[in-house]
Structure 1
Amino acid sequence: MDAWFRQAGYQVRLEWGPDGVTALGGDCAVLVIVDVLSFTTSVDIAVSRGARIMPLRWKDEAAEENARLAGLPVGAAFGDKLSLRPSSLTSIEPGTTLALPSANGATLCALAEETGAHVLTGCLRNADAVATRARELAGERPIGIIAGGERWQLPGDPLRPCWEDLLGAGAIISALPDGRSPEAEMAARTYQATGAEMLADCVGAKELVAAGYPDDVRLATEVNVSTVTPRLSNGVLS
């Protein structure tokens, strides 16, 4: 891939979705996956309680069956017990390892791990802490922020860049040093100009509220209330 698509020459870079992992994974020492509604918010809450998350690629039936055979609970997309919903994990038992599939965040974690980079997950709740950890792991090498985006419900499931992941990425980038690519700087300035105030009115938040999950939106909009920095190691975030 050409150097300009890799945002070569910049210490802090931003891209979207699976193709973003491909673009930045070869150069960056650290990839930070951001999927605010809801995967990386759920990971933050679970890890804060001493649990671990095994991210599974979306619709990977073999991986889900292997997790069950290993005696691990497999989270659902929705539901009140151990699901992708952040509010379902606020009472998860310490020591639990939950296999959690998702179309964006979990799938991106699996892809990012294949690049050989250190993989962290971040959201608004732990933005500053994740930025600090990313700097420690990267040293002098670049850091890539991967905004997950959502999916249009159209043939091929095309990527829909979304407001919540732009804000989450911007919050993390705002706590990282200069040397940002224009794409990364744009996200940081957007977050600095708006904060999390508009997140509750974005498409993704309205979808969750309409489905009866306002608590998930509330948890996702809390900023820097957590100091955990979930890192992917041997297929598990802890």
Structure 2
Amino acid sequence: MTHSEHRQRAYPVRLEWGREGAAMLAADCAVVVVVDVLSFSTAVDVAVGRGAAVLPLRWVDEHPALPPDVQLAGPRRGPGPSLSPASLVDLPAGTRLALPSPNGATLCAVVAASGAVLLAGCLRNASAVAAAARGVGGPIGIVPAGERWPDDTMRVAVEDALGAGAVAAALTDRSPEAELAVAQFRAAREQGLSDVLAATASGRELHAEGFAGDVALAAAHDASDVAPTLRDGMLAA
């Protein structure tokens, strides 16, 4: 059972991790920001910045019969659009892309079921997303996604803490949980976000697999002014 104090209701800006945190914050907050820096939220930002709309999928076959105007993203090493942000930098405007992601898209499903406004945040669009969240009015929940270990427990992901902290840094009246993420973000910014992100476990993993460009795109703080918002099941500007 969740203790009432875990809900951080004393603070307008709150932060909690993973799908459990998303469910808890979505029950109380007017708007929830989902942060999955490597790579779902960054991919969504790049796609929406190109004028596309994104259908979040928890797994590839979640919707076996997609509408004919929705393109299913392929594997990361494939020739077309994928979860790799670098694969989306030339995405044609008007594309409707179904994007599988076991972490970010799962949080989207949790928040969507609550009725709270859902925004996809990352380092690239942190200030734009914070402004959009502020404009909704009411409490703001920020949810760094993390990852899941093989036993389904949550793995804290440094990059998601930094993305969440970047969003929270553009807001006021933060809970201690959000303040700590802000401190982490500011410390990483001093060291150089690109270097810090590349040195994380997830960053090293992507670099080893040949996706260093994805890490560079993800580290570009406030390079984007879009605030992807879920409407009718699609994340769009």
SS in structure 2 of the partner of residue 212 of structure 1: coil
Of residues 140, 155, 159, the one that matches 2:154 is: 159
| 1:92-125: CA deviation from partner (whole Å, max 9, x where unpaired) | 1110000011011111111111111000001110
Q: Which amino acid aligns with 2:233?
A: G
Of residues 52, 71, 74, the one that matches 1:73 is: 71
| 1:161-216: CA deviation from partner (whole Å, max 9, x where unpaired) | 11100000000000001x21111110011111221241110000000000011111
SS in structure 2 of the partner of residue 207 of structure 1: helix
Q: Which amino acid aligns with 1:146?
A: V
Q: Summarize the Cα distance change of 1:92–1:21 in structure 2 as closer, same or farther, 3 Å threshold.
A: same
CA distance in 2, matches of 1:18, 1:146: 8
Q: Offset at 1:157?
A: 2.8
CA distance in 2, matches of 1:190, 1:33: 18
Match status 1:18 vs 2:57: no
Of residues 199, 210, 213, the one that matches 1:212 is: 210
Once the two structures are superposed, the pairs formed by residues 1-238 of structure 1 within 5 Å of their partners are: 1-58=2-59, 61-63=61-63, 65-67=64-66, 69-79=67-77, 80-137=79-136, 139=137, 141-152=138-149, 154=150, 156-177=151-172, 179-195=173-189, 196=193, 197-238=195-236
Contact 1:77 1:102 in 2 (8 A): no
Structure 1: 4+ residue segments shifted above 2 A: none
Contact 2:12 2:174 in 1 (8 A): yes
Contact 2:56 2:105 in 1 (8 A): yes
CA distance in 2, matches of 1:136, 1:235: 21
- Is the deviation greater in 72-81 or in 96-105? 72-81
SS in structure 1 of the partner of residue 174 of structure 2: coil
- Is the deviation greater in 192-201 or in 5-14? 192-201
Aligned length: 230
The two structures, once aligned, show a CA RMSD in angstroms of 1.2
Q: Summarize the Cα distance change of 1:27–1:77 in structure 2 as closer, same or farther, 3 Å threshold.
A: farther
Q: Which amino acid aligns with 2:181?
A: A
- Identity in percent: 48
- Is the deviation greater in 43-52 or in 189-198? 189-198
Q: Which amino acid aligns with 1:18?
A: R
| 1:45-100: CA deviation from partner (whole Å, max 9, x where unpaired) | 001110110001235x241x121x53421113412411000000011111000001
